[in-house]
Structure 1
Amino acid sequence: MEYDPYRLPFIRELVTAQMHLWGLAERVEDARLVTTELVCNVKHTGDKHFRLGMRRRPDAIVIEVRDFSPVLVVFPEAAPEAKPDAAPDTGPGAAPDTGPGAAPDTGPGASSEAEPDVAGLDLRELSEHGRGLNCVRSFADGVGVRPVPNGKIVWAKLRYR
């Protein structure tokens, strides 16, 4: 199949039908979102042709998108689990601590409401790159990429038991 954003609703309906056929209605929305994001990633490969596959395993569904680019996808790192005695990351580019118990920002332009600080960020860049794979990582129980002859397979696993 060739990537075309107008085909995404059809692809989501195929995923929905397959999940219902397997009796897995509880993960339909997750499967639709993950599939959409994996398919949308194809548009960045140069060759917009791909194959979509879904496999049912005893405890999980595996969604695979095979494209024909040898460039491997790099999934964003999962957020590290917070540990009470762990020292905060204060290195270059470290994000400020905004979690529970964090000191409030009282600097210039600080607001009493929690609003994201977007000063200096190119919002077009944020809206077009990186968020989809973060979504896949958030909703899936496993993700990966493996090279195959003439391309790669990007996969996500959704547990259902």
Structure 2
Amino acid sequence: MGVSPPYLHDDTARGSGVSVDDAEDMSVPLLTVRGPWDAQLCLDVSVTLRRCFTGQPDGLIVDLSALHDPHSESAPVWTTARQVAAGLEPPVHLALCVPPDLPLADRMQGLGTGRYLPVYAKVRQARVALAGRIPGDQRLSATLRPDPEAPSLARNLVSDACLAWGLVHLLHRSRLVMSELVTNALEHTGTEIRVAVHRRGSGLHLSVADGDPRLPRVVPVSRPRPDLPLDERGRGLRTVHEIAAQWGAVPTETGKVVWATIRCGERVSAPR
């Protein structure tokens, strides 16, 4: 039986006014909301926000420039999102983009959220502001060629991160997951691969971006791959599903990002 990851986009969101873009490594995704605010759009936004938070990004930018909300009915959704983001461990930096001439901008300022939920006129301003709040020493990244050395180089990046951040207890599991993500990208895309390791409190967030927009599918693998060292052999994305606390995928403007979060207490399932 196949296993489905918690995709940020699925059939229920297609055709709606909600999209997630500019998420090269899912560190600070951009959630864009378009069209008139109604019950369906509210539901789509709530579902997508929840999935974005599941990915535990460093920050999240919500662009409301194209939202038609003359009576500011969406305001409670954004204040609730702020509370959820602040309550995560570690907290997620949340920012709204609302042109100052829209009623929603005055409404959000009137609620006194500016101090805790910053509102910017443009996405570029929000990106610059969030970049100043996110520590640069909590992220390692590399761009890899689509060749057989890529999984090994990606595993080494994970090892460097675990050693630098004192997370050696996550090293084996994180290497396994990163190896599977990169190998899957090699087998199914053949494009340049961008890998990143982020520290998320006491855990790690791994991401692999490639140039193919097709989302991954999990299929049973009966035998381990002989091309990997014994301690790195796995069973495809099923290994990711069994080891990671959360994982998922999201299409981007240039392809997609597949991500996974490794936390303390999660254990590797015994091979079947």
1 CA distance for matches of 2:248 and 2:146?
Answer: 21
| 2:244–2:260 contact (8 Å) kept in structure 1 | yes
Q: Secondary structure at the match of 1:154?
A: strand
Q: Give the TM-score, by structure 1 length.
A: 0.62
Question: Paired residue for 1:63?
Answer: 206
Runs of 4+ in 1 over 6 A off after TM superposition: none
Residue in 1 aligned with 2:249? 145
Greater RCO, CA 8 A, separation 6+: 1
Give 3-state SS (helix, strand or coil) of 2:206's partner. Answer: strand
Asked if 1:2 corresponds to 2:106, the answer is: no
The percentage of counterpart residues that share the same residue type is 32
Would you say how many aligned residue pairs link Structure 1 and Structure 2? 114
Please say if 1:22 is aligned against 2:126.
no
Structure 1's unaligned 5+ residue stretches are 78-124
Q: Counterparts of 1:4-153 in structure 2 under 5 Å?
A: 4-75=147-218, 126-127=222-223, 131-153=235-257
Query: Do the aligned residues in 1 keep the contact of 2:205 with 2:261 (CA within 8 Å)?
Result: yes
Unpaired stretches in structure 2, ≥5 consecutive residues = 1-143, 226-233, 266-272
Aligned partner letter, 2:181: L
Query: 1:74-120, CA deviations, whole angstroms, 9 ceiling, x for partnerless residues?
Result: 3469xxxxxxxxxxxxxxxxxxxxxxxxxxxxxxxxxxxxxxxxxxx
Q: 1:136 to 1:4 in 2, by over 3 A?
A: same
> Whole-Å Cα distance in 2 between the matches of residues 142 and 59 of structure 1?
15
Q: Hey, what's the Cα distance between the residues in 2 that align with 1:46 and 1:128?
A: 21
What is the distance in 2 between the residues matched to 1:7 and 1:73? 18
Q: Secondary structure at the match of 1:52?
A: strand
Q: CA deviation at 1:132?
A: 0.9
In 2, the alpha carbon distance for the partners of 1:46 and 1:139 equals 23
Amino acid at match of 1:2: R
User: What CA distance in whole angstroms lies between the structure 2 residues aligned with 1:149 and 1:38?
Assistant: 20
Contact 1:24 1:160 in 2 (8 A): no
Relative to 1, partners in 2 of residues 1:66 and 1:59: Cα closer, same or farther, differing over 3 Å? Answer: same
- Whether 2:261 is the aligned partner of 1:157: answer yes
Retained in 2: the 8 A contact 1:50–1:66? yes
Residues 95-150 of structure 1: CA deviation (Å, up to 9, x unaligned) = xxxxxxxxxxxxxxxxxxxxxxxxxxxxxx74489931011111111110011112
TM-score (norm 2): 0.38
Q: Is the 8 A contact 1:3 1:39 kept in 2?
A: no
> In the aligned structure 2, how far is the partner of 1:76 from the partner of 1:62?
23
